[in-house]
């Protein structure tokens, strides 16, 4: 097992591996990420949840019919 240490920029879920290491890394690799600071230097994507609305007026639920399926 070989260990290479380098600093890299992170773009979303991509880590840019420096050119000098790209030829050395083949097959499976174990990547360990260590952040220098816990500050929020990069802007974070805002998570958004849009509720789903289904019109249920006039809907009749039959439990027996549902269990038959």
In the chain, what are the domain boundaries?
1-34
- What average pLDDT score do residues 9-28 get? 83
Three-state SS at 11: strand
| Nearest alpha carbon to residue 5 among 27, 23, 32 | 32
Kindly report the average pLDDT of the chain as a whole number. 80
Tokens 């639920």: give the residue: 61
Is residue 43 scored above 70 in pLDDT?
A: no
Is residue 38 scored above 70 in pLDDT?
A: no
Q: What's the CA gap between 66 and 12, in Å, rounded?
A: 44
- What average pLDDT score do residues 38-61 get? 76
């Amino acid at each position: 097992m070989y260990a290479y240490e380098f600093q890299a920029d992170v773009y979303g879920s991509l880590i840019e591996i420096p050119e000098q290491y790209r030829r050395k890394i083949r097959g499976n690799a174990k990547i360990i990420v260590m952040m220098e600071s816990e500050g929020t230097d990069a802007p974070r994507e805002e998570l958004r949840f849009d509720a789903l609305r289904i019109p249920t007026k006039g809907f009749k639920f039959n439990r027996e019919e549902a269990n038959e399926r």
